[in-house]
Amino acid sequence: QVQLVESGGGLVQPGGSLRLSCAASGNSFVIYTMAWYRQAPGKQRDLVAIITRTGTTNYADSLNGRFTISRDNAKNTVYLQMNSLKPEDTAVYYCNAEISRLATARRDYWGQGTQVTVSS
């Protein structure tokens, strides 16, 4: 019943920037950890960044400070600011959230994904 919807993907030139958004909708739920993953064609789905409800963040080692994850708890939304984009960043980006609904145990929810293509 809880849904995650990503937006903000598209085509961008190398060195450019994009801001991805993921909004959760539903009722009677509490969001804990939120994260961004990405998956390139023929590759595994890898963690990009993760953020707790209180704002603690962690990033994939290969990003070298180019990405920033943030969240707005009042809007049930997580963001991924991507700067200095490289062709290697091309992938489908997926939103993930750890959610408790109707006071049940926490479980993972996934968005449908948004395509990010970095090319000249």
The pLDDT of residue 58: 97
Q: Is 44 exposed, middle or buried (0-12, 13-18, 19+ CB in 10 A)?
A: exposed
Residues 20-57 have pLDDT tens digits of 999 999 989 999 999 999 999 999 999 999 999 999 99
Contact 1, 45 (CB under 8 A): no
| C-alpha distances in Å from residue 28, one per residue of 25, 69, 81, 90, 103 | 10, 25, 29, 35, 8
CA distance 52 to 20: 18
The pLDDT of residue 116: 98
What's the pLDDT band for 89 if we cut at 50, 70, 90?
very high
Task: Indicate the residue type of 72.
Answer: D
The pLDDT of residue 64: 87
Residues 92-119 have pLDDT tens digits of 999 999 999 988 899 999 999 999 999 9
